Structure 1
Amino acid sequence: MVPLRVAVIVLIFANLLALALWKGWLGGGDSDGQPERLSNQLNAERLKLAVDARPPAPRPREAIAEAPRTSPEPPVPTPAAPAQRESAPATDTSAPPACVAFAGLGVDQAQELAARIGKVGGGLKLNESRSEQPSSWWVYIPSPGSKDGADRKAAEVRKLGVDDLYIVPDAGPNQFAISLGLFKSEVAANRQLEVLRAKGVRSAQIATRGSALVRLEVRGPSDSLATLVSDLSDHVKGVSRQGCKP
């Protein structure tokens, strides 16, 4: 029994020795064990990555898209600074021209108004025109040229049944004319003339009577005319005020 026990112990020690040699516990030669492999690893700081310097494989011809050729854009010209700033046009502050007309003035009224306008000045220009405006229609027998002739003619007319007559005594072209009526309208005068001719008065006729009417046109700056009209408001009452071409 003793030799068997000794043999077992020797076998155990032999196995332990073999294990120690295999693991490198006894400092022997190179070992392929895992602990040795870990201790013999290369230092990490000495590692260098090897870059594959080979050019990439060319793509298929049909997959290569030719980049469009673009012409270089021309440089944008920088606007030159103006040598001198243009001055702004001067604003015209003068008043526009205007015209106002005063119509239906009597001769005396027109003279007074013209004198007042002349004193105002301010670049005002005055233009005067006159016209005869009939104010009445006169039915009469022309003058026979003498007082005796007028008396004889008047006696003949009275015999025809016309008593409403008057011999004009005032000197002038119508002195000794026989007046048969003064009417405000031409229609009324023609009606009287028909009545007289129906009675046999053949020499009767119609003449218009009236006075000259004056029209004053004043031209100048609109502001001056506005001031003038305001100042003359008391002197042009009842007078027709009209516009006219400046």
Structure 2
Amino acid sequence: MKWLFWLLLAVNAGLFALGRGYLGSFHADAHEPERLAKQLNSDKISLLPAATATAAATAGASAVAAKPAPKPLEVFVCTEVGNFAPADARRFESALEALELGERQSRRNVPGQDISSYIVYIPPQANKEAADKKANELKQLGVSNFFIMSDSTTMRWAISLGVFKQETGAQTLLASLVKQGVHSARVGPRYSNGKLQAFQFRDLDRATRNRLEQIRAKFPEQEMRSCR
């Protein structure tokens, strides 16, 4: 039994020495003095209270949210300049080369302002079938001198009843047609084919439109406007 007594005594002595720190500490920082010494400004490190840390994070998020969103790019869908006589149109088009607009640039012919004749007509119908139906109605009323206008863009599916140099001749025919029961016919002027041209520009940003305005300013008689 003596050996058991001495064994217990040795264990107790060891625990006593460990508790007093005579055998060193098993904490990680006590066994890594070199790593602690290498830390930069370790004496200046401090822990923030939980409330302070939360407030700082909230302030940072608010600063990000408060940053203004970028403005959308301003785009002009369609801008038109004109109307140009042939010589001025060539000079204007030459000046436009610096803008390098490619397919975004086009031009169109502008109708002349001089009346060349007067037409007696029935306004455009919805489609070919409707125009044919209206033509059959004219035949039933005894009207045979007419034709359906299928090629014109503005008068497509209208029905021409006669063209006159003077308005009086057109008005005389209209009165005769009304007596026959044709009540949808009317008289309208026809204009001479114009030689003027207008230029159209699509999807221009503000900077490019300003450059276009500078070019147009060299032709003060010309107007810049939105496409009709």
TM-score, scaled to structure 2: 0.37
Larger Rg belongs to? 1
Structure with more helix by fraction: 2
TM-score, length basis structure 1: 0.34
